[in-house]
Structure 1
């Protein structure tokens, strides 16, 4: 995003910076966050490598990852757009929120501005995302961000020997802009 956009809750989506390593390390210290990482993040060096991969992906234009920061510029969560397909003008959205920031609309507000940026600046037409059906907070964030539920992928994901259904959502460039008041996240 060329300019920082202040979101209603005082949050700002911005590209990740190496100085965000302490926030990334703290977020990935939570056991449930292991599923969100593409590699183990247990040291400051791991966090810096995680951040460098995001910067490299942005530079190569294969994925765009945003920190969702508060008014003190502390990263509270992440929103990424990956699997960008220029031929079909599509991308895949994923997001996570640090435990201390959950319930404050970080994912909801964080998804809105990058989605709008993808439609306006990248020329994408369709953004997709999926969440485990046992994660109702993620579903509320998707809906509040303007993503419409489209269907169920049965037993798509496997964690610790357990299979999980995934609900699919999508937002189109032609969809109405989501309401400014987010649904409450938990």
Structure 2
């Protein structure tokens, strides 16, 4: 049996070229931030490695190029991130994927794995969070499908929350509690 082509690991400084490539893969990546240069990609990785954040790289072993992605091989093709608010034991959850890898269920499997770990007690190898939250534009149903596959429950709509290109957009909000059922979505495996 061969190893799965996608897996998860913490983001690394050596991922900067792959982050830049992912942002260049589709015009819709602009909603994830402004990354149009290698220094901006490095800045994003630095932010993801902050003390109150977890940046989890989705890597694809078939995308490996010599020297990219650091030890352990595999090149970053996407990311699942969590910004943690320690006093409240909650995290803001987000994800993105290089356009070439979309539509294969990779983000759903990655999001399920990260959400499951985030809500698992520390004694059981998790991060000990009690609640995860996320939001997406109403006109981005693919993001909603990922959220639901990762066990998030739709909690409401924030009307005209985002201003993008001069137009207001409604945002659907989701939450997942530690006490919510664990989704049946198969998880991507973890590596170091």
TM-score, normalized by length of structure 1?
A: 0.83
Change (3 A) 1:152 1:9: farther
TM-score, normalized by length of structure 2?
A: 0.80
Q: Alpha-carbon deviation of 1:19?
A: 1.8
- The alignment yields a C-alpha RMSD, in angstroms, of 1.8
After the TM superposition, which parts of structure 1 deviate over 6 Å for at least 4 consecutive aligned residues?
A: none
Whether 1:162 and 2:167 are equivalent positions in the alignment is yes
Of 8, 14, 17 in structure 1, the residue corresponding to residue 9 of structure 2 is 14
Q: Alpha-carbon deviation of 1:159?
A: 0.4
Which residue of 2 is the match for residue 108 of structure 1? 108
| Alignment check: 8 A CA contact 1:77 1:106 kept | no
> In the comparison of the two structures, how many residue pairs are matched?
168
Whether 1:35 and 2:40 are equivalent positions in the alignment is no
Listed as ranges, the gaps of 5+ residues in structure 1 are: 1-7
Which residue of 2 is the match for residue 85 of structure 1? 85
Alignment of 1:91-130 (within 5 A): 91-120=91-120, 121-130=126-135
Listed as ranges, the gaps of 5+ residues in structure 2 are: 63-73, 121-125, 188-192
Q: Alpha-carbon deviation of 1:44?
A: 2.1
Which residue of 2 is the match for residue 24 of structure 1? 19
Of 58, 68, 82 in structure 2, the residue corresponding to residue 68 of structure 1 is 58
Deviates most, 99-108 or 27-36: 27-36
Q: Distance in 2 between matches of 1:69 and 1:150?
A: 31
| Alignment check: 8 A CA contact 1:76 1:106 kept | no
